[in-house]
Structure 1
Amino acid sequence: MQLIKDKEFGGERPLFASHDVHLDNVTILAGESAIKECSNIVATNCRFEGNYPFWHVHGFTIQDCYFAVGGRSALWYSDHLTMKNTVIDAPKMFREMNDIEIENVEMNDADEVFWRCDRIRIRNLRLHGGTYPFMFSSNIRVDGLESDSKYVFQYAKNVEIHHAKITTKDAFWEVENVTIYDSELNGEYLGWHSKNLRLVNCHITGEQPLCYAHDLILENCTFDAACDRAFEYSTLEADICGTITNVKNPMSGHIVADSIGSVTIDENIKAPADCIIEERKK
């Protein structure tokens, strides 16, 4: 593998079609497509300032690096990436990619990141700001996520999440086959129109959670007092610890909680309208 060390590159496509290269302490200055149509690339201790540095790259490692704001849309149409110990201040990262491994990464403008990606493994990721992370992505496993981005995991499929703290709005809409363990989910309108969403040992806050959900499962979950009008038009099996403030018009299934503040069943409930709602027997 060729070593390129302590260098600076700018302009358009300075390392185009490079293969089997280790970049160490390299700075990519203003310009476009610095490392395009490449393979077997290792970047360590590098700084990326120009646009679109990694497009159509096959097999690469990025470790202990920094992407400045100018390095936007840096990773598109590529595969087999491992990224570790990296800070990203640029938006619109990770698009149309597959086979991604992320560990100890911080993204400070998570606008439109991880779109239409497949096979993502994440350990310790922080997302700040921006909208729609993970839109249309699939086959994702996360262990350790902290995010305040809006509208996370819309239209995502086959997702498993552990130890997350997600503060957002309209999260997990239209998702399919998603399981979330041991996490805190804060924000309005959680999980609407989802299919096969399962929450285990999770704490939920925000208004009108989990409506229009199909085959929803909750195991040992807790709800903040602000969670009113929950489960409207949903089919579900829910085991809730503590109190839930209000349940409104669930379609079918079974809801059991230690305490239920109120239940709203009105003329707008949808068939089969046979959900069993009960407080746990003491």
Structure 2
Amino acid sequence: MQITNKYFTGERILYGLKDAKLEGVTFGKGESPLKEARNLEIKDSFFTWKYPLWYDQHIKVDNTTFETMARSGIWYTDDIKISSSALQAPKLFRRCSQIDLEHVHFANAEETMWSCKQIRITDSTINGDYFGKDSQDIFLDHVSVIGNYVFDGAKNIEVHNSTFISKDAFWNCENVKIYDSVIDGEYLAWNTKNITLINCQITSSQGLNYIDNLTIKHSKILNSELLFEYCSRIDIEVDNALVSVKNPISGRIVAPEIGTLILDQTKVDPDKTQVICNNILKRMDSSDLNQTPKVKEYEI
């Protein structure tokens, strides 16, 4: 079936549509226009109202706009590919799987991509808080993210050539690998297990704390204080001076210089962390606690 240059309004107007190509179609006011659809190709079209693609399967979308009121737009849908499209609405993906996004722009990705699986995003931009919460099996390449709390509680993440401007990114995650990327934001990756950063540039106030199995290689950590607090099984090799390191539990740190190294024997066993460094400007232990820099309280 071919549907071309049509304007539709009304609730569930094309409910259950199957094996169809839609081109130049605009869906005006009316909820769930393509609910329970199968095997669709959508091109050069506009979704202007709520819940456009729910409980769908095998959907291809190209050069299409999801306007601001197309909120909560793609839920419970499996096998969807979207390319060269503008995604303006919040809460756009929930409980979906097999998602392939290429050259898309999320203008407001607030609470988007929650509890989804098998996600691939390339050459795209994402703007909005709480993107990717509790999702898994995620691949990103050449993606720009501006928005806080990205990928909270997510699992099995691989990232290449990307940029994150994000407070509290990668919290409560498992199995994260990030290559050739830039990360800028406070409190990076707390309470995460198995995270690797290769050839990255990182700026994070009190970031990289409470992590089990942290690997950083061929990277720079800039303007970041009180690093690696209560981190275990760390393997850190950085190319620049570190501002301060506080109470790592175990592992190895290699850096040309550390401004302040804090190892409080009442909290951790210093012998379990190997520190290889040409110059440590200041060392502090339990006897120096009254000199410990005041830690800024975490703001929720």
Q: TM-score, normalised by structure 2?
A: 0.90
Q: Distance in 2 between matches of 1:206 and 1:190?
A: 6
Q: Distance in 1 between matches of 2:267 and 2:181?
A: 31
Q: Decide whether the 8 Å contact of 1:231 with 1:249 is kept in 2.
A: yes
What are the Cα deviations for residues 77-119 of structure 1, in whole angstroms up to 9, with x where unaligned? 0001011000011000111000111100000101011111111
CA change 1:50–1:250 in 2 (3 A) is: same
**C-alpha distance 273-33 of structure 1, shift in aligned 2 (>3 A):** farther
Who is 2:37 aligned against? Answer: 38
Amino acid of the structure 2 residue aligned with 1:42 = E
Partner of 2:294: none
Q: Distance in 1 between matches of 2:16 and 2:155?
A: 34
Matched length: 278
Which residue of the partner structure matches residue 187 of structure 1?
185
The aligned counterpart of 1:49 is: 48
| Correspondence for 2:228 | 231
**Residue by residue, what CA displacement relative to the aligned partner does 1:1-41 show, whole Å, maximum 9, x if unpaired?**
x1100001111000001100111000000110000001001
Instruction: Say if 2:95 and 2:116, in contact at 8 Å, map to a contact too.
Output: yes
Q: Relative to 1, partners in 2 of residues 1:280 and 1:220: Cα closer, same or farther, differing over 3 Å?
A: farther
- Aligned mate of 2:147, from 136, 149, 152: 149
TM-score by length of 1: 0.96
CA-to-partner distance for each residue in 1:97-153, whole Å, 9 max, x for gaps? 001111000001010111111111111121113x21111111111111101111001
CA-based RMSD: 1.2
Tell me if structure 2 keeps the 8 A contact 1:100–1:119.
Answer: yes
Aligned to 2:70: 71
State the shift of 1:274 in Å. 1.6
Q: 1:199-245 deviations in whole A, cap 9, x for unaligned?
A: 000111021110000000001110112x0000000011100111111
Preserved contact between residue 251 and residue 273 of structure 1 (Cα < 8 Å): no
What's the counterpart of residue 277 of structure 2? Answer: 279
Contact kept, 8 Å, 1:248 with 1:263, in 2: the verdict is yes
Q: Runs of at least 4 residues of structure 1 off by over 6 A?
A: none
Q: Distance in 2 between matches of 1:257 and 1:230?
A: 13
| Higher Cα Rg, which structure | 2
Q: Which residue of 2 aligns with 1:113?
A: 112
Residues 189 and 210, structure 1, Cα contact 8 Å, conserved in 2? yes
Aligned counterparts of 1:98 and 1:137: Cα–Cα separation in 2:
10
SS at match of 1:228: coil
1:126 partnered with 2:138: no
For the Cα contact (< 8 Å) 1:10–1:50, is it kept in 2? no
- Alignment match, 2:209: 211
- Choose the corresponding residue for 1:197, options 189, 195, 198: 195
Cα distance, 1:268 vs. partner? 4.9
Gaps of 5+ in 2: 280-300
Measured in 2, the distance between the counterparts of 1:132 and 1:115 equals 8
Q: 2:162 aligns with which of 159, 164, 167?
A: 164
What CA distance in whole angstroms lies between the structure 1 residues aligned with 2:130 and 2:266?
A: 32
Conserved in 1, the CA contact under 8 Å of 2:263 and 2:270?
A: no
